[in-house]
Structure 1
Amino acid sequence: MTGARAPAHAYRIEPLAAHHDRTHFECGQPSLDSYLHERARKEMANHTAAVFVALPSSEPHVIAGYYTLSNMTADASALPVASARKLPRYPMLPATLLGRLAVTKQHQGRGLGEHLLIDALGRSLATTASVGSVAVVVDPINDRARAFYEKYQFTALADQPGRLFLPMGTIELGMA
């Protein structure tokens, strides 16, 4: 189901909390739905993922979308030569994993996915002042998700074509 594009200010993005209603979230991908219903709060408590939710200003406890961020290491040899050339010659490099990004069916087609992605990239960039990260990495769940990320300049890792990355330098230029 799609609707008119909603402006970014129509949603507030904040960390997942107990008062948010996770029970009715349905995006059309069962694994993304069940993650939010069953595992998201536990992963927040265990510090294995940070979960951020988008709340419509008209319904501040209803989750319209969410994304997760975690730290990871990326194999430096998998980076394209142009990207690797600008980085220290370490075998593994710190990166940020955008593990999940989902929007409920009733909010799809309104620009919320883009709003969530831009928020995730901004948060990822902001953390580099405290914790190093050379890129944001995603593992798209399907071809539609892959096309979405590629629209924002994510590119495939050389030896892992199912995994995409966006260098922090590119994010920094885009946020300027």
Structure 2
Amino acid sequence: MNPVEEKESPVQKYGSDQDTDYFDCGEDSINSFLKKNAVVNQKRGVSQIFCLRENVDGVGKPVIGYYTLSAAAIPSSGVDREIIKGVPLGYDAPVILLGRIGIDKRHQGKGHGEFLLMDALERAMNASNDLGVVGVVLDALNEDVASWYQSYGFITLDESKMFIPMKAIKALFR
């Protein structure tokens, strides 16, 4: 499946027609961001928010899950040179930050997390065609979440920070 290239992708940028009132992924920081900060961050260009919504008629489609993307950099010092091959010594490595990802508890265990992760990685891959990025970075909330990301090729950089090189992302979509 190629979520980004579908004509009518079920994943859309966050907008005013999205119903977040009942969204609860079980993690307060993820819930709070969507309900209180998403609009402001998107308007200010801090991050872009992408939502998967229930397929219902009319306005106010409930959000099943969401993720955020933004530009970031990771220090090249202390990172295995093979991981960030091509980044000059002493320079930060340009990456895309997968800042938050959450699935409403009523929809967990149905593959929506994987679908959103693949959508995010494909958007990052497509962006890498127009700007320099060496991969995607994120902060895993806990060990279970880190294990889930590892199953998709993410590697641990430090206690919570994880990274997947662009080369590995491109291999996912071959």
**TM-score in same-fold range (> 0.5):** yes
Give the C-alpha shift of residue 132 in structure 1.
Answer: 1.3
Work out the CA distance in 2 between the residues paired with 1:111 and 1:97: 22
Aligned CA RMSD, in angstroms, stands at: 1.7
Residue aligning to 1:14 = 12
**1:109 & 1:125 partners in 2: Cα distance?**
26
Structure 2: state its 5+ residue gaps: none
Alignment partners' CA distance in 1, 2:140 and 2:69: 14
Q: Which has the higher helix share?
A: 1
Q: Give the 3-state SS of the residue equivalent to 1:77 in structure 2.
A: coil
User: 1-side partners of 2:144 and 2:56: how far apart?
Assistant: 29
> Identity of paired residues, percent?
30
Greater relative CO, 1 or 2 (CA 8 Å, sep 6+): 1
Out of 30, 33, 39, the residue aligned to residue 32 of structure 1 is 30
- Cα deviation, 1:33-87, whole Å, max 9, x if unaligned, reads 0100000011000000000000122467110000000000111123223223x32
Secondary structure of 1:109's match? coil
Distance 2:57 2:68 in 1: 21
Q: How many residues align?
A: 165
Equivalent-residue separation in structure 1 for 2:26 and 2:107 (angstroms)? 12
**Which string of whole-angstrom CA distances, capped at 9 and with x for unpartnered residues, describes residues 115-152 of structure 1?**
00000000001011222110100101122211111111
Structure 1 unaligned segments of length 5 or more: list them: 1-7
Q: What amino acid is the match of 2:78? A: A
Distance 1:59 1:114 in 2: 25
Q: Distance in 1 between matches of 2:133 and 2:55?
A: 32
